[in-house]
């Protein structure tokens, strides 16, 4: 099993450009989520999904879109990148029935810089 795979690992964008961060998991996890991590801010939830066709907003959703067309994939789209979106992005997943164990499986992260 590859676990949770994020691509790209590094990306530099110019302000106003758009891009998609990819997240794929091969564990058949229903629940997937995106967090961003900034120095001193911990992990903040952007969007999450409890299954194909279902998404919901987290704490900091503005400037980001998501969709969940399959169980495996949960892409995060930046429509018009801003310097404030410079961050490290983590995708995480877990089976829905295991959500009450508090154990998320994280990808290795995608480091995004917006100039």
Partner 1 sequence: GQSLEQPSEVTAVEGAIVQINCTYQTSGFYGLSWYQQHDGGAPTFLSYNALDGLEETGRFSSFLSRSDSYGYLLLQELQMKDSASYFCAVRDGGGNTPLVFGKGTRLSVIA
How many residues in total does the chain contain?
115
Question: Residue 50 is inside which H or E element, if any?
Answer: strand 42-51
Q: Which is nearer to partner 1, 35 or 74 (CB)?
A: 35
Task: Give the contacts of 46 (CB within 8 A, at least 6 positions apart).
Answer: 33, 34, 35, 36, 58, 59, 60, 61, 64, 66, 76, 89
The correct pick among 64, 107, 112, 114 for binding partner 1 (CB under 8 A) is 107
90 binds partner 1 (CB under 8 A): yes
Q: Which is nearer to partner 1, 63 or 109 (CB)?
A: 109
How many other β-carbons are positioned within 10 Å of the β-carbon of residue 71? 17
Q: Which is nearer to partner 1, 3 or 83 (CB)?
A: 3
Question: Residue 88 is inside which H or E element, if any?
Answer: strand 87-94
The correct pick among 63, 75, 95, 109 for binding partner 1 (CB under 8 A) is 109
In the complex, minimum distance from the CB of residue 89 to partner 1, in angstroms, rounded to a whole number = 11
Which residues contact partner 1 (rule: CB under 8 A)?
31, 33, 35, 40-45, 48, 50, 58-59, 90, 92, 96, 99-109
């Amino acid at each position: 099993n590859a676990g949770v795979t994020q691509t790209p690992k590094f990306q530099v964008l110019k302000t106003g450009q758009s891009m998609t961060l990819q997240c794929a998991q091969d564990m058949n996890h229903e629940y997937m989520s995106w967090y961003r991590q900034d120095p001193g801010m911990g992990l903040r939830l952007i969007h999450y999904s409890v299954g194909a066709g279902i998404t919901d907003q987290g704490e900091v959703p503005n400037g980001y879109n998501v969709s969940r067309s399959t169980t495996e994939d949960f892409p995060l789209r930046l429509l018009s990148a801003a310097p404030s979106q410079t961050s490290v992005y983590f995708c995480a997943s877990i089976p829905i029935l295991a959500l009450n164990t508090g154990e998320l499986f994280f990808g290795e992260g995608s480091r995004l810089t917006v100039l």
